[in-house]
Structure 1
Amino acid sequence: MFKIDRFRLIALLGGLLLASACNASPDATAAAPFTDGDQYVTLTPPYQRDSASGKVEVVEVFSYACIHCAEFSPYADDLRKSLPPGVVFKLVPAPFNDSWVPFARGYYAAKKLGVVEQTHDALFDAKFKEQYPINSMDEIASFYASHGANRTEFMKIANSPEVDAQIKKDLALIQAWGVDGTPTIVVDGKYRSANIKDFPQLVALTKWLVQQELNAKKGK
């Protein structure tokens, strides 16, 4: 897992991955490419964010305040686009501390206003590549306003009781999943990424876990 205070990214740009890691061998005797308790953890009991959808859920727990999430964002975009039918990709903003809560509020306001798609990567770029001062709720609102959001409406939604409740719900779910760093991937509320050496491995692990879930659903 990518820790907040003890980030475990050993070789972000280095190291070879098995190109076939996300394509499990049809040979039932073949060793799994990832180990439960090492690269991922099976959650007991399993939790699911939106079980009514009937789809396998891939959830990225992230924060716009996290530089590692910014670095993972291009990989997450490619992952989302490559997921097979029957799988949905979701984002959950982590409200781990007071400085991260405004970004969670901003995410839900942007989602309500329908501007997440065009601002998600742009916010990472503005904060970490262009070094704009985006930290306070006011600065976050200004960023979204510069991308077409109504500033007054944005602030109203961001500070609404509805968003308060959602953030509280998110924190409880994240804690139940055992997430203590970002970015973390949770697949179908059953599997959480753990000791990952780089972002390509995190993508490969996610695809492999998704396939396990799809296979399990077919077997029912």
Structure 2
Amino acid sequence: MKKLFSALILSLLIPLTAFAAEYSDGNGYITLKNPVRTSTPDKIEVTEIFWYGCPHCFKLEPLTQAWKKNLPTDVKFNYMPAVFGRNWLAHAKAFHVADLLGIEDKMHSDIFNAIHLEHHRLNSEDDLAEFFVNYGVSEDEFRKQYNSFAVNSRLSQADAKIRAYGARGVPGLVVNGKYLVTAETAKGNNNIYNVVDFLIEKERTK
């Protein structure tokens, strides 16, 4: 009977062990050589590096929204727009303007849809000013924020963090300033949040 019980316990442990070994540094994620300080040390921070013009980021967005619906109380999620090219700047500024005005949640997916489904480029201040009017923001208020010190400061801070993460493209997920997850490391967008969940649990157990 004892042997049967031991065999049963072993059979239950094997799947758990296999799951724990499913991801490792270089397989699913990359461990940063130098951890980056997070803005919420009392929580496990997950940051998505993105660009509104990126088709891969657009395809990831529904998965992100679904994952966020069940966000644990000990996890903080942030979006961080990257500027890896000249035409990325307007989109990054648009995100920060929306965030400063408290309407980022309303606009985020809509901007993706406007660009990728409705084929609006939204890559100039004028285009974006017109778009923001649909969310109750006057053109004057938009332009004031778009060219503000606050937005430029956020751009600089994000650029510094993205460089520290060692990110070279988008989308990318950084977990607690320690691990970088990409579609390449996770072997596809559909697996990105499985790796993120694994790393969140890894951080919890430390």
- Fold agreement, TM-score > 0.5: yes
Give the 3-state SS of the residue equivalent to 1:185 in structure 2: strand
Q: CA deviation at 1:145?
A: 1.4
Is the contact made by 2:91 and 2:122 (CA closer than 8 Å) also made in structure 1? no
Q: Residue 190 of structure 2 aligns with which residue? A: 200
Task: Name which of structure 1's ranges 119-128 and 189-198 shifts more when overlaid on structure 2.
Answer: 189-198
Deviates more, 1:58-67 or 1:139-148: 139-148
Runs of 4+ in 1 over 6 A off after TM superposition: none
Deviation at 1:25, TM superposition (A): 7.7
Paired residue for 1:209? 199
5+ residue gaps, structure 2, are 1-12
Partner of 1:106: 94
Q: Find the residue that maps to 1:135 and give its secondary structure.
A: coil
Please state whether the residue corresponding to 2:24 is helix, strand or coil: coil
- The 1:150–1:215 alpha-carbon spacing in structure 2 relative to 1, beyond 3 Å, is farther
Name which of 108, 131, 139 aligns with 1:120. 108
Determine helix, strand or coil for the equivalent of 1:69.
helix
2:36 is matched with 47
Q: Is the 8 A contact 1:73 1:121 kept in 2?
A: yes
Structure 1: distance between partners of 2:20 and 2:68 = 27
**Helix, strand or coil at the partner of 2:122:** coil
Alignment counterpart, residue 32 of structure 1, candidates 21, 24, 34? 21
SS of the equivalent of 1:99 reads helix
What is aligned with 2:162? 174
- Report the secondary structure of 1:100's partner residue: helix
Task: Give 5+ residue unaligned stretches, structure 1.
Answer: 1-23
Q: Per-residue deviation at 1:197?
A: 2.1
Paired amino acid for 2:202? Q
Aligned residues: 192
Q: Give the whole-Å Cα distance in 2 for the aligned partners of 1:214 and 1:31.
A: 14
Could you tell me which residue of structure 2 aligns to residue 63 of structure 1? Answer: 51
2: CA distance, partners of 1:25 / 1:202: 24
Distance in 1 separating the partners of 2:90 and 2:98: 12
Measured at CA, do residues 137 and 25 of structure 1 come closer, stay the same or move farther in structure 2, by a change above 3 Å? farther
Deviations 1:54-75 (A, max 9, x none): 1000100011121211111000
